[in-house]
Amino acid sequence: MDTIICRCEEITEDEIRDAIRKFELRTIDEVKRLTGAGMGLCQGRSCEPLLKRILAQETNRGINQIMPLSRRPPAKPIKLEALIREKGNES
Amino acid sequence: MNKIADVVVIGGGVIGCSVAYHLAKRGAKVTVLEKREGLCFGASGSNQGGVPVSLFLPESPLLELIRASITLYKSLSQEIGYDIEYQQSGLLVCSVDEKQYPYLEKHVQEMQRKGVDIRLLEGDEIRKLEPIIGYDVVAGTEEWESGIVNPFKVTHGLAYAARKFGAEFILTTKIYGIEVKENRITSVITDKGKLATKFIVATTGAWSLEIGQMVGLTIPVRPQRGQVIVTEPLPLNKRWNYINDADYLNIAFNADEAGNYENQRIKLGVAGNYIQKDTGTWTIGSSRDFAGYDNQVTMETTNYLVKRMIQFIPKLKDSNFIRMYAGLRPFCYPDGLPIISEVDNPSGFLIATGHAGEGVTLAPITGKLISELITEKKTSLPIDAFRFSRFKDMETEAD
C-alpha cells in the first residue's frame, strides 16, 4: 500500500521500508537522509513519530530505543534575510 | 562479529565506505567499525556534494586525483546498482572583485593547458545566461568537468555494494586498542571483542589523532568546521546549479594565509559555495574555521554566509531557509593535503584522512588507491604528495 508518511516530500511507507532493509538502517536520521522523509518544510515534525514506529518495527526494537532526529535550526522556515539583521550577530 | 578479517576499516564515513567497497570487490574480507549507530555521521554527512575541478590550482597534486575520482563517479551508479545522483553539472566560479580579473584570466589559460574545458565570462554575459546572478559579479569562469553528487547516497550506496561483496559493518563500536607484534598489526580490541586482522585502514576523519596514537603515530589532522544553510525549494536555475566564489581559489585551501588577513569573513573561511538540487533546494556554504570539536552553527558565520550570498545570488535573501548544519572536516595542518598512505611502522597500518572539504570529491579514488596499496603494493596514480612519510622531518604539533 502506498501510504504517504512524509506529506511535505510525498514519501511513501514502502519507500521508507525498502530503504531501511536495503541499507540496514538503524537511525531515523539516515532514513531521512536517504528517502527525503522529514527533509521538507516541516523538517519531520509531522512524520518523525511515524518514521520511528516503522524503524522500530523493522529493526525489532521498542520505539524508545530509536534515537530522535538530529535537531537542526531553525524550528520553522525563516527568511534568509533574518540572518543578517544587525541585532543578534553574536554567536 | 567475525573474529578474523583481512582488513579492518575504522570509520564509516564516505572514505571508509569507499575503501571497504574497493577492497571487498577485490576479494578481501573487510570489516568496517563505526562508533555511531549509522554511517555518514561525520564530515561526509555535512558535505554539500560538489565535486569541483576548477577550484584547484593547476599545479595542485590534487587535480589529477580529482579528475580520476570524477571518472569513477561517472560509472559508479551503474556499477553499484544504486543512483548516487551524479550529475556533470559543470561549475561557474564568480568573482565580485575586479582585482581578481587577471588572476582568473591566468587560471583559465593554465587550466586549458591541462585540457580542462573552461572559459572566461564577463559579468554581463553571465547574467544574460543566468539572470539570477547579482550585479556585483564582475567576471567568472565556466567549466564543464565538475559535477555534483548526493553525499548520503554515495556513502550508503558504497556500503550497500561493499556488503554485497561480503563486507561486514559493525556499528556502535568503541575501539580500545590496536595490537602489534614484531612491528606488524595483529588485531583490534573493541568493546565487542577482539578482531584479528592483517591490515587496518584509519578512515577516521577529524577524529584520527586518537587512533594514530594507539600505534604511536601522530596523524597531523585537526577538525575544521564547515557551516551550511539549506533553503526551501525554489525555481530551478537555467544553466548553472553549481556556483562558487572565486575567493576559494585564493583562500579556502590555505587556512594559514587566511588567518593573516584582517578580514573576519576570510578568517572564518567564508566564501560562497552554492548548489541547487533538482528538488529546487539550495545549499549555501561554506566556511572553514577551527573551533575544536564544536560542530554547532554560529550566528557570526551564517551572517557572513548570507551577506556574501547577496553579492552572488541576491534574490535568495527573500526565500526561506529550512535547515542549517555544521560538520567537522579533517584538515591536515602541515600542508592541507590528504593522507593516503601506508606507514613504515607498524606495517599493515594505513591512513586515509585529511581530505578537508573534499572527502566526497575524493572518496572514489581514495578507496581505489588504498585497495591497490593493500592488494598490489603499488598504485595506479602517483601518491608521493599524500604519503605519511612526508611529515617525517616535520615537528608535529599535536593539539
Inform me whether the C-beta atom of residue B81 falls under 8 Å from chain A C-beta atoms: no
For residue B64, report the phi and psi dihedrals to the nearest 5 degrees: -65, -40
Which B residues in the span 300-319 are in contact with A, Cβ-Cβ below 8 Å?
300-303, 305-307, 309-310, 316-319
pLDDT, mean of residues B165-194: 97
Give CA–CA dist B144/B265, Å, rounded: 29
DSSP string spanning B76-101?
Answer: HHHHHTS----B---EEEEES-GGGH
pLDDT of residue A89: 46
Is pLDDT of A87 > 60? no
Cross-chain residue pair A72–B324, CB shorter than 8 Å: yes
Q: Other CB atoms closer than 10 Å to residue B268's CB: what's the count?
A: 22
Look over chain B and give the mean of its residue pLDDT values, rounded to a whole number: 94
Look-up of cell digits 591512513: B351
Is pLDDT of B318 > 70? yes
Inform me whether the C-beta atom of residue B332 falls under 8 Å from chain A C-beta atoms: no
Closest CA to B103 of B140, B59, B133, B144: B140
What's this model's pTM, rounded to 2 decimal places?
A: 0.95
Which B residues in the span 282-301 are in contact with A, Cβ-Cβ below 8 Å?
284, 297-301
List the domains of chain B with CATH numbers.
Answer: 4-45+152-220+335-391 (3.50.50.60), 91-143+222-332 (3.30.9.10)
Is pLDDT of A90 > 50? no
Cross-chain residue pair B300–A72, CB shorter than 8 Å: no
The three-point CA angle B298-B206-A90 to 5° equals 10
Kindly indicate the confidence band of residue A62, based on its pLDDT and cuts at 50, 70 and 90.
Answer: very high
Closest CA to B204 of B73, B354, B308, B343: B354
pLDDT of residue A71: 84
Q: Best of A41, A69, A80 to disrupt the B interface by mutation (most B CBs within 10 Å)?
A: A80
Amino acid at B340: I
> Cβ contacts (< 8 Å) between B307 and chain A: which residues?
84
CA distance readout (Å), A73 to A7, A38, A81, B12:
20, 14, 15, 25
pLDDT, one tens digit per residue, over B107-163 is 999 999 999 999 999 999 999 999 999 999 999 999 999 999 999 999 999 999 999
Inform me whether the C-beta atom of residue A25 falls under 8 Å from chain B C-beta atoms: yes
ipTM: 0.92
